[in-house]
Amino acid sequence: MSKQVFYSSIQQELDRLDEAQVNKRHETVIEGFTDHPSPRAVIGEQEYRIFNSNDYMGFRHHPSLKKAEHEASEKYGTGPGAVRFISGSLKVHRDLEQALAKFHGREEGIIFSSAFAANLAVLFSLITGQSRDSVVNNDTLVVSDELNHRSIIDGIRVANHPKEKRKIFKHLDMTSLAEVLEAGKTTNKRALVVTDGVFSMLGEYQDLGEMRKVIDEYDAQYEQGVLLVVDDAHGVGAFGETGRGTEEVSGGQADVLIGTMGKAFGADGGYVVADKIVIDYLREAAATYIYSNNIAPGTAGAALAAVELLSGAEGKGLLERSRANTKLFKEGLVKVGYEFAADSVHPIQPILIGDAKAAKALSKVLYEAGILVTTISYPVVPAGRDEIRVQISAAHTTEDVEYLVEKCKGAK
């Protein structure tokens, strides 16, 4: 059968990935977790301390989230039923959107099945417009940081925008951004600058205060202005004194802010907060909202509980704990001679190993000691910059962090 020929070409690709040792499909299966407050992953007969998760606040095992999830599914059922323009919005979805808008000090919010879906929606809708009949002008210059997340890259691809209107600026480089905006100002009506807030490989962040200054300078030079779009998936809920993310740390505001509820919020789904007009437009133009189910009501209930916790004293305390754990970890490693691939103040802490084999060997030693971390090698990072990515959580105890430091020390 001809389909066997098709399959054999797929098999060749799988073989290539296996040979290059860059495959991803052999995922670890976690059978369960031990109890709160510092849950360990159960794999086979072993328990593992988790240093490779985005659950920065430890919310996914928090009793308040589990209770809220349960109550919302009791009240609304386990699934959304249909897309919202067909069967209506559940109140828990609207409550969550309003809570997220309030949390970030914005007029309105909209939730998506994921931040990936939110990025596709925002970029497609704001770059291209919704349909052939759309009256939204698409004479837009799109300017993107060279290390932006895959969902931003794909969002720009989906918009199918002419190549000459898609530009990259050098990673975290405001001079480069200004040069791109300068070059495009006479041939484009408006510009859209898009960036990650926190960059997940190294824990570095875009200085939104500095970026805002550049954008404000060029705003008046484009007929329809310059819009700043920030995806702060790793920042929201985890970064800054009160968990407002990169905006809080670097002091600049996005016009359109994208976040996820699948990391620090301990739930799932993505969101956008912005001026009401932008959100109204997304409800009309965003295909991943209009034609795709929203998150389950239980998930929305859990996320709402996370926003409430983050807005109160408990959230503040957890953020403090996360910072203390991060400091303890970093100081412990520096003392024994480890270097970091970037000077991150975020709970993402990249230990520079510099060689793929050595990085794999260290992560194996840690795994055998009951610790989960992530090895990141070329091509995700440049050759010679291989790292072990450690992710610190407020759920870690001091003993957890000291244990990790001790094991890294032993492997030096």
Ligand X SMILES: Cc1ncc(COP(=O)(O)O)c(C=O)c1O
Residues from 104 through 143 that contact ligand X (CB under 6 A):
114-116
Q: Say if CB 52 and CB 372 are below 8 A apart.
A: yes
Residues from 266 through 285 that contact ligand X (CB under 6 A):
270
* Nearer Cβ to ligand X (257/388): 257
Residue type (1 letter), 297 = P
* Nearer Cβ to ligand X (221/374): 374
- 374, burial (CB in 10 Å: exposed 0-12, middle 13-18, buried 19+): middle
In the complex, what is the shortest distance from the CB of residue 274 to ligand X, in angstroms, rounded to a whole number? 16
396 is known as an active-site residue: no
What does the alpha-carbon distance between residue 58 and residue 55 come to, in Å, rounded to a whole number? 5
The active-site residue out of 73, 125, 200, 377 is 200
Taking each helix axis from N to C terminus, what angle separates 313-335 and 398-410, rounded to the nearest 10 degrees? 20
Residues from 196 through 215 that contact ligand X (CB under 6 A):
196, 200
In the complex, what is the shortest distance from the CB of residue 260 to ligand X, in angstroms, rounded to a whole number? 3
- The residue within the footprint of ligand X, chosen from 234, 244, 321, 346 (CB under 6 A), is 234
- 174, burial (CB in 10 Å: exposed 0-12, middle 13-18, buried 19+): middle
314-341 core/surface letters (b: 16 or more CB in 10 A; e: else)? ebeebbebbbebbebbbebbeeeebebb
- The residue within the footprint of ligand X, chosen from 80, 262, 298, 315 (CB under 6 A), is 262
What does the alpha-carbon distance between residue 83 and residue 78 come to, in Å, rounded to a whole number? 14
- The residue within the footprint of ligand X, chosen from 144, 260, 325, 375 (CB under 6 A), is 260
In the complex, what is the shortest distance from the CB of residue 52 to ligand X, in angstroms, rounded to a whole number? 13
The active-site residue out of 93, 149, 165, 263 is 263
Q: What are phi and psi of 274, to 5 degrees?
A: -170, -175
User: 27: which DSSP letter?
Assistant: P
- Position 235 contacts ligand X (CB under 6 A): no
Q: Say if CB 318 and CB 306 are below 8 A apart.
A: no
234 is known as an active-site residue: yes
* Nearer Cβ to ligand X (293/398): 293
263 is known as an active-site residue: yes
The active-site residue out of 234, 330, 346, 396 is 234
- The residue within the footprint of ligand X, chosen from 66, 106, 149, 244 (CB under 6 A), is 149
Stretch that binds ligand X, among 18-26, 202-210, 226-234, 313-321 (CB under 6 A): 226-234
Query: Which x/- pattern over 170-199 shows residues binding ligand X (rule: CB under 6 A)?
Result: --------------------------x---
Within 8 A by CB and 6+ apart from 249, the residues are: 205, 235, 239, 240, 345
Within 8 A by CB and 6+ apart from 388, the residues are: 350, 351, 353, 359, 362, 363, 366, 373, 374, 375, 376
Stretch that binds ligand X, among 17-25, 36-44, 89-97, 228-236 (CB under 6 A): 228-236
- The residue within the footprint of ligand X, chosen from 233, 274, 359, 381 (CB under 6 A), is 233
Size of interface with ligand X, in residues (CB under 6 A): 13
Residues from 33 through 72 that contact ligand X (CB under 6 A):
none
* Nearer Cβ to ligand X (198/408): 198
Q: In what order do the strands lie in the sheet with 46-50?
A: 32-33, 40-43, 46-50, 371-372
Contact residues: ligand X, CB under 6 A: 114-116, 149, 151, 196, 200, 231, 233-234, 260, 262, 270
Q: Which residues are catalytic?
A: 200, 234, 263
